Amino acid sequence: MEMTERKNKILAAVVERYIQTGEPVGSKNLLDSLGLSVSSATVRNEMADLIDMGYLEQPHTSAGRIPSTAGYRYYVENLMTAYDMSPTEKKLIDIKLHETTGEPHAVLERAGNIIADISKCAAISTTPADSEAVIKRIELVPIGTHTAMVVMLTSFGILKTRVIRTDSEITLDIAETFYNIVKANFIGKPACDITIARIQTLALSLGEKALAMTPLLVVLSDLSKMTEKTELLLEGQTNLLGYKEYETNAFELMEFLRRSEPLNRIFTLEKNETGAPSVLIGKEQLYRELQNSTLIFSRYSIGGRQSGALGVVGPTRIDYARLIPCIRYISDVVGIILSDNAED
């Protein structure tokens, strides 16, 4: 059995109506909207064929039809007309994103709010992480005679801080020694170069200052490890409570989304060489908690390197035609902003 033009029209109409209403679609209502010069019985037969082909499902004997995972996939890849964002929509997104400080966390949080508002679903994103991120600046900010804050900024705009209390007094001489060591050994170098072994080697060359300097240098090693880890940001998750599809598992899904490891694994495993957003639908999902959901995400790049991802999670009847181009555009703008910030 093959897909004919009429089957394509019927499947597209079922998907689009179900996305709009969330209600199973009957043959009579479908016939009225399609304007086909065929009988309701013909439409029913075509829908029965689409069920046999795995593209539609019938939840109950007397109910209309709904798309299956395969039906949504066929629609996205073959039938969907992608939404054409207007210049005004793009400009509004640009303005909202450029209102932030340019720091990755703030930019991604704003992007998540925009996606959640557009989609009426949950927005997810990951902060940049790359073992090749270069250290741009390290600051030592004295808070007290024995307490200081150590600040590290990388080329990806990642800012990490740690407050440390030392047994030795943090004098002007100690601060100057710290800056000299940092300038000579770490600024402009990959963050991954700051290892405990490297710190130990430096400490051996410091003589009587080693006792005071070692705790400060060890903090740098801790901060460098933190820059290599992604943080998962979640916005608009309460939007999911409005969908009847999640009546039985909304809180289970939200708890799942709060765990960074599964989603980071999905982002890592799912490769899309075309650069287009990745779309994972229903039973295609790796994890049981997502198998009545769709995940659409796009990777953003900083300085030409893929650095993180952002996207949306919602029911399988999510508005694919609108959200796929929107997420791609927002991802591109986020990448531009973070790249510009990394160059400053």
Q: Report how far residue 34's alpha carbon sits from residue 102's, in angstroms, rounded to the nearest whole number.
A: 48
**CA–CA distance from 342 to each of 98, 152, 166, 271 (Å)?**
15, 14, 32, 25
**Encoding tokens for residue 212?**
């005071």
Q: What tens-digit pLDDT sequence spans the chain (344 residues)?
A: 788 998 999 999 999 999 999 889 888 778 777 766 778 788 888 989 999 999 999 887 667 889 999 999 999 999 999 899 999 999 999 999 998 877 888 999 999 999 999 999 999 999 887 666 788 889 999 998 989 999 998 877 778 889 999 888 888 988 999 999 999 998 988 888 888 888 888 888 888 888 888 888 899 888 888 877 788 899 999 999 989 999 888 889 988 988 888 888 888 877 766 678 999 999 999 899 999 999 999 999 887 777 889 999 999 999 999 999 999 999 999 999 988 876 66
Domains and CATH numbers, the chain: 5-79 (1.10.10.10), 87-129+231-343 (3.30.450.40), 135-227 (3.30.390.60)
Q: Give yes or no for a contact between 338 and 107, defined as CB atoms under 8 angstroms apart.
A: yes
Amino acid symbol at 78 = N
Give the bridge partners for 305, in sequence order.
Answer: 302
pTM for this predicted structure:
0.82
Gyration radius (Cα) of the chain, Å: 26
Handedness of CA 99, 104, 109, 112 (dihedral sign): positive
Residue 277: name the closest of 237, 203, 329 by CA: 329
